[in-house]
Chain A
Amino acid sequence: MTRPHPLAWADGPAGQLSAQPTEAESVPAARADQEPASQPSGRQEPGETDLAIASRALVMRFRGGQVAVDHIDLSVPRGSVYGFLGPNGSGKTTTIRLLLGLMYPTFGSFRLLGAEPGPGLDAVLPRVGALVEGPAFYPFLSGRANLARCDAADRTADIDTAPARIDHALDQVGLRAAADKRYRAYSLGMKQRLGIAAALLRPRDLMILDEPTNGLDPQGTREIRSLIKQIATDGTTVFVSSHLLAEVEQICSHVGVMSTGRLVFQGPLTELRSRGEPRILVRTTEPAQATEVLATLGLVEIATANAEVTARLGEHAPEKVNAELVHAGVPVAGLETIRPSLEDLFVELTGEGFNVNG
């Protein structure tokens, strides 16, 4: 694969890709491979970039005129766990369908493990484990028979090891005991697990999981989360979509945030966190006095509620502020610096709540 790509950007440094117009200031996503989980490992084919997924101005307009995906430039670094976030209906699943070749984009291009849409995509898809929009299987077949059916469709799978691989996948999601039950009889959680098992039928370089913990109980959610962590430790890139922040926050190294078809943020999770302005919170019985001191120090956006005073911290060191307060005789019962939660940042980014349909 020494052939130069017709679009020069695809072979250039990854940072070029993440330079989305609205997010020009974001740190190029691929620069964050200091994260422990992100060693690209020796799996890279020659000629592939260090991005597992890269899209450029990807657009999907449906026949009704609805634009489900609106010029998104994804940059998913190899070895990352990329949380693809957004409210329901923000275009996450459509994006995933485009990336997997289930749909054809109206405009734009992408590369999945270095392959462009077309015959090349079919060649890399065996290295991609996918769960799209919840599990779908044949209700009249057992879990094991369903996995055998998936594996039979794979023209590059090793036929001789199929039974062992199927058992291994069932073990990984804890479904071995129910393997011979009909899919029809599975609970929602078991169905979801079987969907993940199908993605685990062979070692993958990339896992694309669309809402993998949908319908799982808290215990199951935790299991899936640790499974994803484990998969990532093996060097597999994981692209996981979710509308639940808490889920993504715990396992992801990178995030992309979708809102009404647009990618409104993309970058390392740490970068998103650092976006929030820290504030100082002072608990005191003399809020008026505290307010005065803070104002003298030059803090802005001072707000008082009950026995709490908050202000934007800016460049001030909290311990110095504390010393000044005590020096001025303000009885300080408690003092802390607070950063806006990720949830606050997301709501800010997506404009609406996380349950609002865009």
Chain B
Amino acid sequence: MSTDSVIAPARPTEPAGPAAAARPAAPIRHWLRLFRSELRIVFLRPRNIALLLLLAGAPVFLGVVLKINTPPPGSGGGPGAGAFIGQIADNGVFLSLFALFLLLTVMLPLAVAVVAGESVAGESGLGTLRLLLTVPAGRTRLLLTKYLTVLVFCLAACLIVAGVGLLMGALLFPIGPVTLLSGNSVSLAAGLLRLLMIVGYVAAALGALGAIGMAYSTFTQHAIAVMAAILVTVMISEIADAVQQVAVIHPYLPTNYWFSFDALLRMPIGWPEVLHGLESFAAYTIIFGWIAWVRFSRANVTT
């Protein structure tokens, strides 16, 4: 494109001094600067800090409650959270898993909804979107950076829940070799590695939800509407997932594979299930990321 030649080459006529401009571009360094700026905006926003504190508080609360009223070892069983709850008294590592499982139903999606909702719609509502775009930050570049920031937030949220859960588990309960759902026992180190893989899996699930949220976010200037839409999406998906009459669509629901991370707690690991999950998350991320991009790159910014 011949328009490239317009890109400000270092202009020798420009006045020197504190305000000299337009150095030869260092794209990576400049992008990292924008990325850091986005991270600061997300992680320094009081509302988001409160959300992360709330997420950190949940395993503390669960740990204390379970310490006071310890379920008998081996109780629970069955699918879902019950698979973990009976083991907490034996091994604090399971507090971490139990907290992740419990928070994945509402709290974690809510946190992602808040951040994804703010990402574009929030900036639009605040009017700062026009500021960034006239700088110009570049629409595609800004959208990608924002999505990466959402991903970092998803990972941070999961790490906080798992980390605080582990800490509380270690403080309140014994810690040792981990008994997997398949009955085998692995060393504590191997158990922690599995926990880390689960954190990554859940973060990927939330990342896909984040992409859906980003897409919604490009259609409105009301962050709150995006948050509500994301949560409604999660709820509808979970309800549909529970109705056996529509089992045929279950594999296509965004939340269908969310709780498949128990496959990572078997010996051997249930890779097909894990991979199906990751494929589903990748598909949602790509489709909704594409929608977000198509919409955002052509949107008239009216705020």
Contact = CB atoms under 8 A, between A and B. Distances in A.
B23 A156 contact: yes
Contact of B300 (A43, A102, A121): A102
B272 interface: no
B33 interface: yes
Contact of A125 (B15, B37, B134): B134
A134 B131 CA distance: 10
Contacts of B19: 161, 165, 168, 202-203
Residue of A1, A42, A123 most packed against chain B (CB within 10 A): A123
B268 to A, nearest CB: 47
B82 interface: no
A126 B41 CA distance: 22
Given A138-B41, A198-B131, A155 B302 contact: no
A158 B23 contact: yes
Interface stretch (A18-26, A144-152, A336-344, A347-355): A144-152
Interface in A124-144: 124-128, 130, 132-134, 136-141
B132 interface: yes
B53 interface: no
Nearest to A1: B5
Nearest to A171: B18
B44 A159 contact: no
Interface string B1-23: 11111111001011100111111
A125 B18 contact: no
Interface string B110-145: 000000000000000011101111111110011000
B6 A153 contact: no
A154 interface: yes
Contact of B4 (A41, A123, A139, A148): A123
A115 B34 contact: no
B130 A156 contact: no
Given A152-B33, A154-B135, A132 B6 contact: no
B3 A123 contact: yes
A249 interface: no
Nearest to A94: B302
Interface in A183-206: 198, 202-203
B46 interface: yes
A114 B2 CA distance: 13
Contacts of A134: 127
Contacts of A298: none
A102 B133 contact: yes
Contacts of B45: 140
Nearest to A41: B13
A65 interface: no
A113 B302 CA distance: 23
Contact of B131 (A1, A150, A159): A150
Contacts of A164: 18
A132 B134 contact: yes
Given A140-B45, A161-B18, A203-B19, A153 B13 contact: no
Nearest to A113: B6
B6 A157 contact: no
Contacts of B301: 97, 102-103
Given A125-B134, A125-B136, A168-B18, A159 B2 contact: no
B23 to A, nearest CB: 5
A156 B8 contact: yes
Interface string A3-43: 10000000000000000000000000000000000000111
B6 A137 contact: no
A119 B20 contact: no
Residue of B19, B27, B36 most packed against chain A (CB within 10 A): B19
Nearest to B23: A158
Contacts of A97: 130, 300-302
A101 B37 contact: no
9 contacts: A43-B13, A103-B301, A137-B128, A137-B131, A139-B126, A152-B34, A154-B30, A158-B23, A168-B18
**Which 6 residue pairs of A and B lie closest in terms of their CB atoms, listed nearest first?**
A136-B127, A120-B3, A152-B37, A153-B137, A164-B18, A103-B300
Interface of B: 1-8, 11, 13-15, 18-23, 25-27, 29-31, 33-34, 36-37, 40-41, 44-46, 126-128, 130-138, 141-142, 298, 300-302
Interface of A: 1, 3, 41-43, 45, 97, 100-104, 114-116, 118-128, 130, 132-134, 136-141, 148-150, 152-159, 161, 164-165, 167-168, 198, 202-203, 234
